[in-house]
Amino acid sequence: MSTFEQEKEVRVLIAYASRHGATRGIAERIGAELRQEGLDATLLPAKQARDVAAYDAFVVGGAAYYFHWMKEAAAFVRRNRAVLAERPVWLFSSGPLGTEPRDAQGRDVRETAEPKEFAELEPAIHPRDQRVFFGALDRDKLGLFERMLTSMPAVRDSGGLPFGDFRDWEEIDAWAASIARELKAATAGAV
Ligand X SMILES: Cc1cc2nc3c(=O)[nH]c(=O)nc-3n(C[C@H](O)[C@H](O)[C@H](O)COP(=O)(O)O)c2cc1C
In three-state secondary structure terms, 29 is helix
Residue 23 contacts ligand X per CB under 6 A: yes
Distance CA 39, CA 114 (A): 28
For residue 30, give the nearest of 188, 183, 164, 169 by alpha carbon.
169
Report which residue type is found at 57: A
CA 174-176-177 angle, to 5 degrees, is: 60
Q: Which stretch binds ligand X (CB under 6 A): 38-46, 50-58, 82-90, 144-152?
A: 144-152
Residue 22 contacts ligand X per CB under 6 A: yes
Taking CB under 6 A as the rule, which mask of x and - marks residues 95-134 in contact with ligand X?
xxx---------------x---------------------
87, 149, 177, 187: which one binds ligand X (CB under 6 A): 149
In three-state secondary structure terms, 97 is coil
Distance CA 183, CA 173 (A): 15
55, 84, 89, 94: which one binds ligand X (CB under 6 A): 94
In whole angstroms, the minimum distance from the beta carbon of 132 to ligand X comes to: 7
Distance CA 186, CA 11 (A): 13
In whole angstroms, the minimum distance from the beta carbon of 121 to ligand X comes to: 17
Binding residues for ligand X (CB under 6 A): 18-24, 63-67, 94-97, 113, 135-137, 146, 149-150, 161
